[in-house]
Copies of this chain bind each other. A is one copy, B any other.
């Protein structure tokens, strides 16, 4: 490209919002990316990279394309928390080599953040925040704010620390600009500041920020020393991931957010695990029905209602599962309310079971003119719905007790377990009362 073309491109490109720049970058092929690295400074590239959303495995490739010094400079210029997100996707050696050639101050910040475990408050916090002392005046606080504004992740909430760097309070920029310049910070700050521990789960952090409508939340260690802050934009991503995760699991797929550009092999790989587990569970159901072959041979019409009963069991189980998983995720269901939930679900199962059961008796009687068969199917639906609803609620609660993510008990798993239960009830009843069936 000619010099003036580069200038024209830079002029146009750098006027775009960084999110749009990132979208543009994601669409580029390798040669175009190389051209872009030539045209932009590491600092400009850092702004883009903070907004890029690519597959985790692609970060390694993209960074290797850049000159190591360019990559290291870019990482230094990025927000420390975003740089850490990128570095977490690379090999250990690669991380070490970037940290060596990187700007020392930035490297130190990043090393500190790399310590924290994934999915904790520490892993999503940033150390680029503004802290002021409680014995400063508003005037001097504003002076610090103006100085730190270009670097800090947010200046709209300013956290106040005491001599020992303990978190002592918070003041919003809104309150700062309307306060008298000579007032002491300790007089205008809010001492009742909500903070989270550095080891807190990131989903809990997200929930607090959403419920309290915070724009920033301070992170402290066990001695209440201020370590960093979490801003609302990081938390939106967490809420999104969490929701998409629960959704994927309910559908029985490892990750529902696959792009249409992915080839079918990738898509199949995400879906096959559940399909194969399901296949084996289905074989168990099949062998269970096989045990009732005598019953089936004598009353073949019984087979007709297998999908109906299984389907209803599966669905009511999924409904109960979804309610339990959401309740556990939002923290509404706690240890002491688990029994209460199970009683509620049993009662719910009885109501839906009685309604659907009666309807089935009626339909089968009208359709087949056989009240005994109707009663058999109806009673099976009734009992199945109670047991299946309870199972749908009980299994996630059990997993939660054993510290397993309850969302792992996905829809297809519950569905198939309930298929088995429903067959057992249906054929058990049918075999017992076979002499009454024609």
Give residues in A with beta carbon < 8 Å to B.
Answer: 15-17, 19, 51, 142, 145-146, 149-150, 155-156, 173-174, 177-178, 192, 194, 210-213, 215, 232-233, 236-237, 239-240, 243-244, 246-248, 250-253, 256-260, 262-265, 267-268, 271-272, 274-276, 278-279, 281-283, 285-287, 289-290, 293, 296-297, 300-312, 314-316, 318-319, 321-323, 326-327, 330, 332-333, 337, 340-341, 344-345, 347-348, 350-352, 355-356, 359-360, 363, 367, 381, 385, 411-412, 415-416, 419, 423
A177 & B142 in contact (Cβ 8 Å cutoff): yes
How distant is the Cα of A302 from the Cα of B265 in the complex, in angstroms?
A: 32
B311 & A282 in contact (Cβ 8 Å cutoff): yes
| Minimal Cβ-Cβ distance residue in B for A305 | B286
B274 & A315 in contact (Cβ 8 Å cutoff): yes
A51 to nearest B CB, angstroms? 8
A133 to nearest B CB, angstroms? 19
Further 11 A-B residue pairs, CB within 8 A, beyond A239-B243, A268-B351: A17-B212, A19-B211, A239-B239, A259-B332, A260-B327, A260-B332, A260-B344, A262-B344, A271-B319, A285-B307, A293-B301
Residues of B near A282 (CB, < 8 A) are 305, 307-309, 311-312
B246 & A344 in contact (Cβ 8 Å cutoff): no
| Minimal Cβ-Cβ distance residue in B for A413 | B315
B271 & A352 in contact (Cβ 8 Å cutoff): yes
Main secondary structure of the interface of A (DSSP, over half): helix
A324 to nearest B CB, angstroms? 10
How distant is the Cα of A380 from the Cα of B63 in the complex, in angstroms?
A: 47
A265 & B308 in contact (Cβ 8 Å cutoff): no
Among B174, B267, B341, contact of A344 (Cβ-Cβ < 8 Å): B267
How distant is the Cα of A308 from the Cα of B282 in the complex, in angstroms?
A: 4
In the assembled complex, 27 residue pairs joining A and B whose CB atoms fall closer than 8 Å, in A order, are A16-B192, A19-B212, A19-B213, A145-B177, A156-B215, A173-B177, A210-B240, A236-B236, A247-B326, A251-B411, A252-B315, A253-B323, A260-B327, A260-B337, A267-B344, A271-B348, A271-B352, A275-B316, A278-B311, A282-B308, A282-B312, A283-B308, A286-B308, A289-B304, A293-B300, A300-B300, A307-B423
A248 & B322 in contact (Cβ 8 Å cutoff): yes
A63 to nearest B CB, angstroms? 23
B251 & A236 in contact (Cβ 8 Å cutoff): no
| Minimal Cβ-Cβ distance residue in B for A269 | B351
A346 to nearest B CB, angstroms? 8
How distant is the Cα of A103 from the Cα of B17 in the complex, in angstroms?
A: 41
Residues of B near A236 (CB, < 8 A) are 210, 213, 232, 236, 239
Residues of B near A265 (CB, < 8 A) are 351
How distant is the Cα of A271 from the Cα of B282 in the complex, in angstroms?
A: 26
B300 & A415 in contact (Cβ 8 Å cutoff): no
Residues of B near A318 (CB, < 8 A) are 251-252, 411-412
A402 to nearest B CB, angstroms? 21
A359 & B307 in contact (Cβ 8 Å cutoff): no
Residues of B near A267 (CB, < 8 A) are 323, 344-345, 348
